[in-house]
């Protein structure tokens, strides 16, 4: 019994096309993720520019975004005198609030305060924000029932200002 002959050239050509298509699909996926992150990258760049001009920040350490009732972008950085500050910018109005870090509780402390009140199942973010025109930490997380929750903590003294559960 004779086996049918296989066209080796056809198989090699097919493999080349399959590899080419996989490569194109990977490039499209990477391009999509870069495109999807572009608005946040633009916000970060603009926030840095404002912090440089208005708050005289020369060294940038962190970028935060908080979005509960309003969107705030925050830069943590040092000015030319090596004073470390949060520069909190209201996305809608462009108003700037400069908060010296030496007068605040840390991001880790804010997360620990939130975790001590309610057991956090999955932390989403902890970001500086403004709440009733006062600097605060906004801790967003999923609880044990996978419900979205927020705790707002005073940035200066660590007191819980507001807690929103089961959003």
Complete edge-to-edge strand list for the sheet that includes strand 96-100: 57-67, 71-79, 84-90, 96-100
User: Of 2.90.10.10, 3.40.50.2000, 3.90.1300.10, 3.10.450.40, which CATH number belongs to 35-164?
Assistant: 3.10.450.40
Q: 71 in helix, strand or coil?
A: strand
Quote the CA–CA distance of 75 and 99 in Å, as a whole number: 10
Give the residue carrying structure tokens 């989403």. 124
At a CB cut-off of 8 Å and minimum separation 6, what does 61 contact? 76, 77, 78, 84
A 10 A CB-CB count for 105 gives 18
* Model confidence band, residue 118 (pLDDT cutoffs 50, 70, 90): confident
Query: pLDDT digit string (tens) for 43-78?
Result: 888 888 888 888 889 999 999 999 878 899 999 999
Q: Is the C-alpha dihedral spanning 125, 128, 129, 132 positive or negative? A: positive
> What are the domain boundaries of the chain?
35-164
This prediction has a pTM of: 0.76
**Residue 62 near residue 79, CB atoms below 8 Å:** no
Quote the CA–CA distance of 140 and 107 in Å, as a whole number: 12
The closest of 86, 102, 93, 92 to 138, measured between CA atoms, is 86
Q: What pLDDT score was predicted for residue 94?
A: 86
* Model confidence band, residue 39 (pLDDT cutoffs 50, 70, 90): confident
Query: pLDDT digit string (tens) for 64-117?
Result: 999 878 899 999 999 988 999 999 999 988 899 999 999 899 999 999 999 888
């Amino acid at each position: 019994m004779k086996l049918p002959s296989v066209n080796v050239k056809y198989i090699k050509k097919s493999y080349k096309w399959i590899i080419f298509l996989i490569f194109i699909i990977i490039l499209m996926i990477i391009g999509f993720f870069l495109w999807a992150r572009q608005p946040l990258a633009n916000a970060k760049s603009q926030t840095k520019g404002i912090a440089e001009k208005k708050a005289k920040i020369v060294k940038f350490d962190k970028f935060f975004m908080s979005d509960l009732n309003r969107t705030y972008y925050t830069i943590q950085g040092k000015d030319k005198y090596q004073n470390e500050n949060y520069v909190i910018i209201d996305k809608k109005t462009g108003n700037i609030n400069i908060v010296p870090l030496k007068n605040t509780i840390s991001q880790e402390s804010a997360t620990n305060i939130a975790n001590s009140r309610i057991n956090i199942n999955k932390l989403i973010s902890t970001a500086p924000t403004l709440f009733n025109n006062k600097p605060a930490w906004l801790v967003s997380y999923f609880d044990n029932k996978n419900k979205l929750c927020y705790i707002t903590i005073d940035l200066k003294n660590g007191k819980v200002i507001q807690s929103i559960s089961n959003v």
